[in-house]
Structure 1
Amino acid sequence: MDQATRTELEAAAFRRLVQHLRERSDVQNIDMMNLAGFCRNCLSRWYREAAVEHGVAIADPEAREIVYGMPYKEWQAKHQQEATAEQKAKFAKANPGH
């Protein structure tokens, strides 16, 4: 497979992942962190870091909006639930110092 095709396929997979996460707003970031070790915020940070590597300046809020499909504060108000004590404990155990 040539590099251009590989890049196109990777971009398509990224877009599909982002769309899936937008559609599954019921899935909380803390659950994603506890199960998979990353969340929407991680994905937006990776996007921003990749942009910087390519000489494109992008702010965190802009990168988050690309992933969330809306401003982060708006997404939080619409979809984010308070984490339970169990979720917080699991996160703290898996991510010491985070």
Structure 2
Amino acid sequence: MAWDISDITIGDEVTITATILKLLDYDDARVASISIPSYGFPYSIRAPKKAKPGGQVELTGEVTRVDEDNGLVTVKLGIPVTVDVSAITRWTPAVREHRGKPLRDTPD
């Protein structure tokens, strides 16, 4: 589902669904190499139980930056990951006091 980028603000919680490419075993840990939609860099996570190559995994993080002009959202998933807004599969707005101003820089 595509979200309207004007609804997403800093501090909101979003979920991105990634595809498991391969599983790797290191010492005592099992690591999954995953592909995040519209993110062109390698990324790996601790593999969930019953994970298989080709399977889906949900990554949840907090929005740290919103670029409305380019339709990009930066999410903190351990490291900042910038993805297209269409990569977001779930969105939960943060609970905050409304003071009338959005949490974004706007040109003067």
State if a TM-score over 0.5 links the two structures: no
Where on the TM-score scale, by shorter chain, does this alignment land: which range?
under 0.3
The structure, 1 or 2, with the larger RCO (C-alpha pairs under 8 Å, 6+ apart) is 2
More strand by share: 2
More helix by share: 1
TM-score, normalised relative to structure 2: 0.23
